[in-house]
Amino acid sequence: MNSLWLLLLLPLAAGAGWLAAVRNLMPDTDDDDDDFSEQQARVSKRYLQGLSYLLNEESDKAIDVFIKMVEVDSDTVETHLALGNLFRKRGEIERATRIHQNLIARPHLEKTYRVQALFALANDYFSAGLLDRAEKLFLTLIEEGEYQHKSLLNLLDIY
């Protein structure tokens, strides 16, 4: 079972490292070379640390490193949503909830991503048995006109 998680997390780790490298290693015209080298060393060290955890079958530590490494922005929101959903499917509802709440708390998150995160958080609450919280979020989603059908089906399960 652990090797299955390693196979699932390895592409995520590679993608996170690539994305971090592309985003963080591009020098800005205002930065000098020392800042660039320092930033490059920091990202490389965290990425290698995450890969080391992953290869040593310490997937929880690896996930934590990659989550901290990849800043939430419009390029990485989908990765965070997928990671949260993966945690929920693994039964780690607390971690899934934390990721989805973190996404929703972002003030400049695009509406489409915010709605996806709300739906994911509602599913986290539903899975955790927090039906009152899940109900409120599903009703909010119906009012916003997003995920109406799925939200209605989940509300039927709640009632």
Per-domain boundaries in the chain: 1-71, 72-159
Report, in angstroms and rounded to the nearest whole number, the Rg of the chain calculated over CA atoms.
18
CB 113 within 8 A of CB 77: yes
Nearest to 86 by CA among 127, 133, 139: 127
How many CB atoms lie under 10 A from the CB of residue 25?
A: 12
What pTM, to 2 d.p., does this model score? 0.62
Task: Report the top-level CATH class of 72-159.
Answer: mainly alpha
Please report which residue ranges of the chain form alpha helices under DSSP H. 2-24, 33-55, 59-69, 77-90, 93-104, 111-128, 131-144, 148-158
Tell me the pLDDT of the chain (159 aa) as tens digits.
556 655 666 666 666 666 666 565 555 555 555 555 565 555 567 767 777 776 777 767 777 776 666 555 556 788 788 888 888 988 889 989 988 998 888 888 888 999 999 999 999 999 999 999 999 999 999 998 888 889 989 999 998
